[in-house]
Amino acid sequence: MAKGSADATDRELRIATGAGTVTGLLHRPAGARWLLVLAHGAGAGIRHRFFEVLVPLLGARGMATLRYQFPYLEGGRRRPDPPPVAHRAVRDAVTAAAEHAGDLPLLAGGKSFGGRMTSQTQAEAPLPGVRGLVFLGFPLHAAGKPDDRRAEHLARVEIPMLFVQGTRDTLAFLDQLRPVVTALGARGALTVIEGGDHSFAVPKSAGRSAEEVLGEVADAVARWAEVVTA
């Protein structure tokens, strides 16, 4: 288990969405400076080891988090929700986060599918109070099939966006993603995790643990948050 603040508080929340009530997990370290609303990827929920390691690492850097389930996983289904259902869940989770944020600046995003659903929601209509979006492995295209159509909606997102991407991510080849981020101008930022795959796992030969690599991810998110909320 990753080390976080010994003074952090953890709460389980129930978040009402248009497709039923879902689980939220709020982690708030002492001296929190931001609150990041985090959605999960398509195949794993909020208690996956990825989040269990990453969340306390973010907390140690002053980042409170609210991670939440999409309705399909909450209901035990494997097929992801259609976009309108997912978008409603994103919006309702941000609303719930705002009730617990106090004066903390709000950020939103997530892992893979969760990050893309968040950006689509923001593109449709701004998420109230959200200052920037964080993508942890943006799924730009199907595995090994370069394409950038999934990024078209990003042009309608008018707040800062951080893309954290591994060099071995087959769902976002860097030669496809870099032009997308460049086209966003000052709104786009890219942090590359050397050797990381879509979940930032690196080869054993790299000699780095999952906690060390996700520490790099947490560092990138905190540095970027410092800038966009200044």
Every domain of the chain and the residues it spans: 9-228
Asked whether 165 and 193 are in contact (CB, 8 A), the reply is: yes
CA 193 to chain centre: 15
Residue from 147, 79, 155, 86 nearest 118 by CA: 86
Asked whether 13 and 23 are in contact (CB, 8 A), the reply is: yes
Look up the CATH superfamily of 9-228: Alpha/Beta hydrolase fold, catalytic domain (3.40.50.1820)
Distances (CA, A) of 183 to 96, 172, 176, 178, 187: 32, 16, 12, 9, 9
Alpha helices in the chain (DSSP H): 49-60, 71-74, 83-101, 113-124, 174-183, 210-228
Go through the chain and tell me how many residues it has.
230
Task: Walk along the chain (230 residues) and give the pLDDT tens digit of each residue.
Answer: 455 555 779 999 999 998 999 999 999 999 999 999 999 999 889 999 999 999 999 999 999 999 999 999 999 999 999 999 999 999 999 999 999 999 999 999 999 999 999 999 999 999 999 999 999 999 999 998 888 999 999 999 999 999 999 999 999 999 999 999 999 999 999 999 999 999 999 999 999 999 999 999 999 999 999 999 99
- Global pTM reads 0.95
Residues 6+ apart with CB under 8 A from 89: 15, 17, 18, 19, 22, 39, 68, 70, 71, 81, 117
Residue from 121, 113, 115, 103 nearest 17 by CA: 121
